[in-house]
Amino acid sequence: MKAHIGGSDLAQKYACDDPPLRAELFGADQMEQHGKILASIYQVKPGRPRDHLLARLAENESLLLEVHSLLTEAVKADRLIAPAGEW
């Protein structure tokens, strides 16, 4: 890895002492036990929950359209656009 980052100590700086995520996967028995614990903690409420997804998608659409408009204006004004903005 040091060859890829020019021999710097970045690899050590960002190294993690935690075991890999795969060490945290549950076996079938552990998953069953975990499911029972979660089921005992949470209660189902009557009625339908409020749907947050559609509101969030509308918010995202609005933001994307606003950014598109700003980038279009910048291009028309011959301003330099970052490659990420062009994409």
**Per-residue pLDDT tens digits of the chain, which is 87 residues long:** 444 444 445 456 555 666 655 566 788 999 999 999 999 998 888 888 788 899 999 999 999 999 889 888 988 998 887 777 666
Predicted model pTM: 0.41
- Write out the two tokens for 17: 């002492």
Residue 21 is assigned to a structural domain of this protein: no
Residues of the domain holding 62: 53-78
Residue 70 is assigned to a structural domain of this protein: yes
Residue 74 is assigned to a structural domain of this protein: yes
Residue 60 is assigned to a structural domain of this protein: yes
Query: What's the confidence (pLDDT) of residue 36?
Result: 95
Residue 16 is assigned to a structural domain of this protein: no
Residue 57 is assigned to a structural domain of this protein: yes
How many structural domains comprise the chain?
1
In the chain, DSSP assigns E strands to none
